[in-house]
Amino acid sequence: MKIYHNPRCSKSRQTLALIEGKTNEFEIVEYLKNPLTNKEITVLLSQLNIKAIELVRTQETIWKENYKGKELTETETINTMAKNPKLIERPIVVKDNKAIIGRPPENVLSLFA
């Protein structure tokens, strides 16, 4: 199990606490310190079964000032998240080949069913 985590985000901290209550076998990836590659984002999108734009935090200033209203392709959106990891929705929890966004944090509990 792996959690893509931002320690400054309350939802991310709440999700991490839920995971810690269920297992001690997980890896924490602080994606702001260690940005994801285009390939890693593409794999996550496949595991989440969503389009790239659905993983973007569209309320972030970076997005509003530079990308809002523009028609970006999947590849362009992925490139944008790779260059600006703050734009990636968080937290993301991966178990086996399935991923879930922890918003709300309780969403990740389905990975333990």
Looking at residue 113, what is its pLDDT? 85
Task: State the alpha helices, DSSP H only, in 1-113.
Answer: 10-22, 38-48, 61-66, 74-83
Percent of the chain at pLDDT exceeding 90 = 99
Which among 20, 19, 39 has a CA at the least distance from the CA of 82? 39
pTM of the model: 0.95
Structural domain harbouring 104: 2-112
pLDDT digit string, tens, across residues 83-111: 999 999 999 999 999 999 999 999 999 99
Catalytic residues: 9
The count of structural domains within the chain is: 1
- Find the CATH number of the domain harbouring 18: 3.40.30.10
